[in-house]
Amino acid sequence: MARYLMTPSPNHGERREGPVDMLILHYTGMETAKGAHDWLCDPKSQVSSHYFVYEDGAICQLVSEDRRAWHAGVGFWGGVSDINSRSIGIEIANPGHAGGYPDFPPAQMEAVMALCSDICARLSIPPKRVLAHSDVAPARKIDPGEKFDWAMLAANGVGHWVEPVRISGGRFFQQGDAGQPVEALQAMLALYGYGIEVSGNYDLATEQVVSAFQRHFRQAKVDGIADVSTIETLHRLLVAASSSGP
């Protein structure tokens, strides 16, 4: 295991169930990296992560990997509702959408890639369970967002990725639509792992899940509308997932 600067946070507890088989990536969404780092180590905040990555690529460890850090909150993925007990959390310093959402610097992305690679190799975390905070909590979260370079991570063996289908015209579904095609879309999203009710109604919750999918896998346009590009990219992802094993 690589050595990282230890800056302990008191905000953690016992893991409750199951193996550690997920890696959840966040952005901090605060004005400064130092302010975010300090907040994650403040007992009053009741939040933490296992690791923190600065813009210059410096990496700090806040919580031991065998402990349950408090980073994901209420969420769901692939049948798991206690995300914190099953995951490692990484906070990436970035002020987020409310702070202008700057690009993630190359040094920071390289550090995130190396850290994720180390964690996934040691803990045998499957590529399909390297996830965005928005994937597991689409109704509440949008981080690390559409500027995060998931393709770069996947090119280095971290995470699951397919080339997104080009955006074009054609049939699409949006909030207010209903019927079997919407039900099929919801079933595909649920099969991949998203927490979504397969109801046949394109409601707000469905729009939020589609937006989360787009932020991760079809980043060129995030609007919560299931256009041909979104649906075909999801299909590509499911085909690739079925051929790559657990």
CA distances from 60 to 72, 102, 177, 210 (A): 18, 21, 46, 33
Same domain for 9 and 90: yes
The boundaries of the domain holding residue 75 are 5-155
pLDDT at 97 over 80: yes
Whether residue 168 is contained in a domain is answered as no
Cα dist from 123 to 12, 120, 155, whole Å: 19, 5, 20
In the prediction, which pLDDT does 114 show?
98
Last residue in a domain, options 104, 139, 155: 155
123 and 192 within one domain: no
Q: What is the pLDDT of residue 166?
A: 97
CATH number of 112's domain: 3.40.80.10
**129 plus 185 within the same structural domain:** no
For residue 174, tell me if it sits in a domain: no
Considering the domain architecture, whether residues 118 and 226 belong to the same structural domain is answered as no
91 carries an active-site annotation: yes
The residue annotated as part of the active site, out of 91, 163, 183, 232, is: 91
Q: Does pLDDT of 140 surpass 70?
A: yes
31 & 139 share domain: yes
pLDDT in tens, 55-96: 999 999 999 999 999 999 999 999 999 999 999 999 999 999
**Helix ranges (DSSP H) in the chain:** 33-40, 83-86, 106-123, 133-136, 150-155, 180-192, 204-217, 228-243
DSSP labels, 146-160: TTS-HHHHHHTT-S-
Tens of pLDDT, residues 33-58:
999 999 999 999 999 999 999 999 99
Domain end among 138, 155, 172: 155
Residues 6 or more apart in contact with residue 74 via CB below 8 angstroms: 137, 140
Q: What is the CATH number of the domain that holds 215?
A: 1.10.101.10
232 and 136 inside one domain: no
- The structure tokens listed for 214 are 């787009």
Tokens 């996947």 belong to: 154
Count of domains observed in the chain? 2
Percent of the chain at pLDDT > 70 equals: 98
Confidence label for 23 from pLDDT (cuts 50, 70 and 90): very high
Last residue of a domain, which of 121, 155, 189? Answer: 155
pLDDT of residue 235: 98
Judge contact between 223 and 211, C-beta under 8 A.
yes
Q: What is the pLDDT of residue 170?
A: 77
* Residues 123, 32 within the same domain: yes
Q: Verify that 19 and 131 share a domain, yes or no.
A: yes
